[in-house]
Structure 1
Amino acid sequence: MKLSPVVLEDAFVRLEPFTEALKDEVRAALDCDPDAWNGMVAAAYGAHFDGWWDAALKAMAAGSRIAYAVRRRDGAVVGTTSLYEIKPEHRRCEIGSTFYRPEARGGAINPAYKRLLLDYAFSNGAIRVEIITDALNAASQAAIRKLGATFEGVLRKHKTTWTGRARDTAQFAILDEDWPDVRRRLDERLAALA
């Protein structure tokens, strides 16, 4: 499995790997909705942004993460997502560290970016892509289930959020043999939104 920071694009979104040129646009996209950050391991709004940004770039340099700015088709950067925990030796990675401005939630953005990232991972040798979320985040879990990922259980006290809460994590995965059906379902959803 070999994943590199390349631009991924479809009719709905353009995923642009982080570069210094994107920093201000990403900052502006994430500097909102403080309550939505409470279930996240790290916060990236307001005063938290610079440390979060630097950590993302450091992980990219190490090859363990590809952080993306999510650009909507109207040209606005509306959030971020990542391929992270990239483990070539196990041919697996995770999709996550995702945050969108409230007005960008729902609609085509979520299925479109997941379609791009999943296709990129599986086309480049992944056999497993994980998606995890706070076990308290019912909306996120519903979206992951709708995607067609398999629920694998709850990891108790798996991560500590930036607020200090010991977070239980709901874990889902899509395997390479699941991908054709998941891809078909995503394509049908996106066709209906076009």
Structure 2
Amino acid sequence: MRIAAVPLEDRFVRLEPFDDALKGEVQAALDCDAASWDIMVAPAYGDHFEVWWRAALAAMQAQTRIAYAVRRRSDGAVVGTTSLYEINPAYRRCEIGSTFYRPEARGGAINPACKRLLLGHAFDAGAVRVEIITDAVNARSQAAILKLGAKAEGVLRKHKITWTGRARDTAMFAVIDDDWPEVRDGLDRRLATVS
């Protein structure tokens, strides 16, 4: 499994791998809604952005992550970020995460469009398992993940320590290659109904 760091796009979004030319747009997209960052493992807004950005680029250099700017096709604005990360070619698995959208980009076609592109890219590259994890206190995120078609696999207790020092329980979801055709078809049907 080798997942290439290439742009991905459909009629809703263009996912652009991080590079220095995107830094300002990504920072502007993430520098909002400070309260939403309280439950994140690592913050990326305000004074925290530079450290987060450098860590993302280092992980890309190590080929363990592909961090993407999420560009809304309707107006060309960068409205957030998402990643394929914890890329493990030996186990043919990765995770989708480090996802954050500006408030006005939440709840519409942006998230399912991003997930459709990322899942397709991973499975086309030979993945057999793609995980999507979230904080167990984030009911909205869990509902969105289930709506994508991922399967709930349980909660990992005290799985991560957030930047605020809280021991986070992590809700674990996954799509495996056996699930992918059904999940893909469901996402395609869902996105086909969006005007």
Aligned counterparts of 2:101 and 2:111: Cα–Cα separation in 1 = 9
Other-structure match for 2:77? 76
Aligned counterparts of 1:193 and 1:106: Cα–Cα separation in 2 = 12
Q: Shift in Å at residue 153 of structure 1?
A: 0.4
Aligned counterparts of 2:135 and 2:39: Cα–Cα separation in 1 = 6
Q: Shift in Å at residue 49 of structure 1?
A: 0.1
Aligned counterparts of 1:85 and 1:48: Cα–Cα separation in 2 = 22
TM-score (norm 2): 0.99
Unaligned runs of 5+ in 2: none
Aligned counterparts of 1:123 and 1:39: Cα–Cα separation in 2 = 32
Identity of aligned residues (%): 74
Aligned counterparts of 2:128 and 2:143: Cα–Cα separation in 1 = 23
Q: Which amino acid aligns with 1:182?
A: V
Other-structure match for 1:146? 147
Q: Shift in Å at residue 75 of structure 1?
A: 0.2
Aligned counterparts of 2:159 and 2:59: Cα–Cα separation in 1 = 20
Q: Shift in Å at residue 39 of structure 1?
A: 1.3
Aligned counterparts of 1:31 and 1:91: Cα–Cα separation in 2 = 34
- Runs of 4+ in structure 1 over 3 Å off: none
Task: Say whether 1:39 aligns with 2:39.
Answer: yes
Q: CA RMSD in A?
A: 0.5
TM-score (norm 1): 0.99
Q: Alpha-carbon deviations, 1:156-193, whole Å to 9, x = none? A: 00001111100000000000010000001100110000
Q: Shift in Å at residue 123 of structure 1?
A: 0.5
Task: Say whether 1:131 aligns with 2:132.
Answer: yes
Paired positions, count? 194
Q: How does 1:54-65 map to 2 (within 5 A)?
A: 54-65=54-65
Unaligned runs of 5+ in 1: none
Other-structure match for 2:29? 29
